[in-house]
Amino acid sequence: DIQMTQSPSSLSASVGDRVTITCRASQTIGAYLNWYQQKPGKAPKVLIYTASNLQSGVPSRFSGSGSGTDFSLTINSLQPEDFATYYCQQSYSTPLTFGGGTKVEMK
Amino acid sequence: DVQLVESGGGLVQPGGSLRLSCAASGFTFSKYWMHWVRQTPGKGLEWVSRIQNDESITNYADSVKGRFTISRDNAKNTLYLQMNSLRGEDTAVYYCVRGAAAGTPPWLDPWGQGILVTVSS
């Protein structure tokens, strides 16, 4: 199974900050990496697919990069509605696997 | 609008069975892979199972293999998860999730609202 390691597991930031979350795969997955945002009590929503493609309707302050085993999600100018938990997920092979999540909290 | 609505959850004793259903609408159900993903309360996400659009391929997480069965009825636009020999560690919110179709990205989108399954005596 491909293990997905996210870091940090949590971070504190302020509105307007630039935030970067990293995700490392235990083996190469090409660009088969998606990012999801989850707010309390809600289902996850896809933000970025295949490493760097922005899902329709997602603000352009979100961006993704990387390939192979190392990936990152960046939020430029953090907004109040961005405080949430973020997960990476590999779609390269089954079992599909998720990172442990990064909780972005208000400083 | 694409909608996925889960039903069938609840409280069940260890060793018991439960069948989850997911009613899909707003898209051509028969063209898409479908998945079940679960989330333990306060914890992360765990992929459970998937089924190809024509039911020809099914895959399972090792943690549920041999106990859970995924199926679908394309005529009824409905996805199922038959869960047998349930254990305490199966307690989670279960999400029905749309997967890929020909020409779409390999993502999980959208997700249903989720349904709670509690395994306890």
A87 close contact with B: CB closer than 8 A? yes
Q: Say if CB B33 and CB B51 are below 8 A apart.
A: yes
Q: What is the pLDDT of residues B22-69, one digit of tens each?
A: 999 999 999 999 999 999 977 789 999 999 999 999 999 999 999 999
Residue B43 has a pLDDT of: 76
DSSP secondary structure letters along chain B: --EEEEE--EEE-TT--EEEEEEEESS-GGGS-EEEEEE-TTS-EEEEEEE-TTSS-EEE-TTTTTTEEEEEETTTTEEEEEE-S--GGG-EEEEEEE---TTS-S----B---EEEEE--
Q: Is B95 on the interface with A (CB under 8 A)?
A: yes
Taking only the tens place, the pLDDT of each residue in B82-95 is: 999 999 999 999 99
pLDDT digits (tens, 9 = 90+) for B96-109: 999 999 888 899 99
A26-49 tens-digit pLDDT: 999 999 999 999 999 999 999 999
A103 touches chain B (CB under 8 A): no
The per-residue pLDDT for B58 is 97
pLDDT at A94: 95
Maximum distance among all alpha carbons in chain A? Answer: 38
pLDDT, position B42 = 74
Residues B66, B59: Cα–Cα separation, whole Å: 11
For residue A18, name the pLDDT band (cuts at 50, 70, 90).
Answer: very high
Q: Identify the closest residue of chain A to B48 by CA–CA distance.
A: A95
> In chain A, which residue's Cα lies nearest the Cα of B43?
A100
Encode pLDDT of A42-84 as tens digits: 999 999 999 999 999 999 999 999 999 999 999 999 999 999 9
A96, closest residue in chain B (CA to CA): B47
Average pLDDT of span B13-17: 98
**Residue A8: per-residue pLDDT:** 98
Distance from CA of A15 to the nearest CA of B (A): 25
Mutation pick from A36, A48, A96 vs chain B, by most beta carbons of B within 10 Å, is A96
Q: Do A94 and B59 touch (CB under 8 A)?
A: yes
3-state secondary structure labels for all residues of A8-66? CCEEEECCCCCEEEEEEECCCCCCCEEEEEECCCCCCEEEEECCCEECCCCCCCEEEEE
- Taking the Cβ of residue B103 and every Cβ of chain A, the question of whether any pair is shorter than 8 Å is answered with no
Q: How far is B13 from chain A, CA to nearest CA, in Å? A: 25
Phi-psi region of A57 (alpha: psi -120 to 50; beta: other; left: phi over 0): left
A43/B110 Cα distance (integer angstroms):
9
Residue B115: predicted pLDDT? 98
Cβ of B50 and A96 within 8 Å?
Answer: yes
The whole-angstrom distance between residue A85's C-alpha and the CA centroid of its chain comes to: 9
Which pLDDT value is given to residue B41? 75
pLDDT of residue B44: 87
Confirm if B23 and B4 have CB atoms less than 8 A apart: yes
What's the gap in Å between the CA of B102 and the closest CA on chain A?
A: 15
